[in-house]
Amino acid sequence: MHFSTLVTLTLSVFSARAIADNCYNHFDYCGTSLLGIGNYHDTMVQALHSEGLKYDDDSINRSVFTCVEDGLLASPRYCEHRCWVAATGSQMNDTCNEE
């Protein structure tokens, strides 16, 4: 393999990692928050499906997911009314607003 090809491949891998963010371990996120962070759509569908919950777009947007190791999601909970997104950088969890 040519040196220039190796350098290009290495830079593209690091660039992709810099663009794609992961959620923080043990924090809860609304589906809408996760869609804003990165490409979590398929991961959310899988988490909802594994719990026997609907996994359409409305269910994704109105559910809270717990981030676990390496950006994986667990324990999805459907919010009957809406999902409340905590302020960015607040170190608070997103949660269901059931009022």
Q: How confident is the model at residue 1 (pLDDT cuts 50, 70, 90)?
A: low
Q: Is 32 helix (H, G, I), strand (E, B) or coil?
A: helix
Q: CA 79, CA 82: separation in Å to the nearest integer?
A: 5
Q: Is the pLDDT of residue 41 over 50?
A: yes
Q: Which of 2-6, 11-15, 24-28, 60-64 has the lowest mean pLDDT?
A: 11-15
Provide the terminal-to-terminal Cα distance of the chain, rounded to the nearest Å.
61
Average pLDDT rounded to a whole number, residues 64-76: 93
pTM over 0.85: no
